Amino acid sequence: MKTIRGNIWKIKKADAICITTNGIIGQHNRAVMGRGIALDAKIKHPGIDYLLAKKLNKHGNHVYLLTEKTKKGISLLNMDVFSVNKNIPYHIVSFPTKNHWKEKSSLSLIKKSAKRLVKLADKKKWKKIIVPRPGCNNGELNWKDVKKVIEPIFDNRFRIIRKKKIIDSFRGKYAFLSNFYFCDIRYRNIVWSSLEHLFQAYKFTSEKIRRIIWNASKPSEAKELGNSYKLRKDWDKKLKKKYMLKFVRLKFKQNKVIRKKLIKTKKAILIEGNTWHDNYWGDCKCKKCKDIKGQNNLGKILMQVREEFENV
Ligand SMILES: [Zn+2]
């Protein structure tokens, strides 16, 4: 088996994806699919809970193929109630990890489901099957324990998917990602004490103002100063981004320890999460900005620079 990172619903090429399920039928003859991937499936594919309930009722809590291939493509199994037959890019399979939704997931049930899934894949000649870490989210199991059980069963056709890691606070362990992080950056023979100092200074062409900002004792002070003078005439989005990219590169090029830390964040999504309504460089998390998707330009630059260093 292989492990991958990403969003299970955004997988482009796969024969089948698995949704982790339980064995309970709730109101109106519908399977209880109230959380996690099962809930996503219910929202994306209305009627799937009814379909699963029918199977559970007839044959018990097992692995079921919930889709079929028709001339038009893959769609939910054609069972009386379905008037909408959406085209689905892959087959969907239920994968029981627990009997009652209230319980913890069960390793023995996961083992059973894994074996049944392999049989189904053999029968259908599938080559790529995506499986979430079974029982590890709402099932409260430890991935280490689950891995021990399923690794001997799943061959390389099976990809265990996990969400991409998101780092959306540049504090504590990740403070080095913040522009306020103290570290020497040499630019044109002057050493600046943080990226914030350097960036704020270059909003101006006056050497006098630059020197005043260079002198600021803290990055926050540099920022304040940077907001108190008239900006250079050519200061637009393009130039802003150009300088930010240049300075982020310099920061990590000249400081080996934090460069290594940046590379160690691997494929994690970096978001400059803030509370001061900056939706240009980052993404503000306050109540007012809740519905605004921040452009996260600093996060994007950090990820770009990380990739550049990875490839060195
Ligand atoms: Zn805000």
DSSP 129-195: EEEE-TTSSTT---HHHHHHHHTTT--TTEEEEEPPPEE---SGGGGGGSTTSEEEEEETTEEEEEH
**Same domain assignment for residues 154 and 205:** no
Residue 286, domain CATH: 1.10.357.40
* Residue that is last in its domain, among 120, 145, 163: 163
Identify whether residues 122 and 21 lie together within a single domain: yes
Same domain, 13 and 156: yes
pLDDT tens by residue, 74-92: 888 865 555 555 678 999 9
The domain boundary, picked from 163, 181, 209, lies at 163
Do residues 69 and 144 share a domain?
Answer: yes
Question: Cα separation of 193 and 248, whole Å?
Answer: 13
Q: Do 146 and 185 fall within a single domain?
A: no
Q: What is the CATH number of the domain that holds 8?
A: 3.40.220.10
Calculate how far, in angstroms, residue 291's C-alpha sits from the geometric centre of ligand 1.
Answer: 10
* Ligand 1 ion: nearby residues, β-carbon < 5 Å: 277, 284, 286, 288-289
Ligand 1 centre from 166 Cα, in Å?
A: 19
73 & 191 share domain: no
Give the model's pLDDT for residue 73: 81
Same domain, 149 and 178: no
Number of compact structural domains in the chain? 2
Q: What is the CA(294)–ligand 1 centre distance, in A?
A: 10
- What is the structure's pLDDT at 138? 87
Question: 102 and 12 in one domain?
Answer: yes
Domain span at residue 187? Answer: 172-310
What predicted TM-score, i.e. pTM, was given to this entire model? Answer: 0.71
Residues 152, 194 within the same domain:
no
Q: Are 281 and 242 part of one and the same domain?
A: yes
Q: What is the pLDDT of residue 140?
A: 92
Non-local CB neighbours of 219 within 8 Å, separated by 6+ positions: 179, 180, 181, 182, 193, 194, 196, 197
pLDDT at 253 (0 to 100): 98
Question: Which of 129, 163, 197 is the last residue in one of the domains?
Answer: 163
Could you give the 3-state DSSP secondary structure of residue 125? coil
Ligand 1 centroid to residue 181 C-alpha, Å: 22
Indicate if 10 and 138 belong to the same structural domain: yes
Ligand 1 geometric centre to CA of 285 (Å): 6
CA of residue 261 to ligand 1 center, whole Å: 29
Cα 168 to averaged position of ligand 1 atoms, centre (Å): 15
> What's residue 312's pLDDT?
78
Residues 45 and 84 in one domain: yes
Residue ranges for the chain with pLDDT beneath 70: 78-86
Cα 171 to ligand 1 centroid, rounded to whole Å:
18
Q: In which region does residue 250 sit, left (phi positive, over 0), alpha (psi from -120 to 50) or beta (all else)?
A: alpha
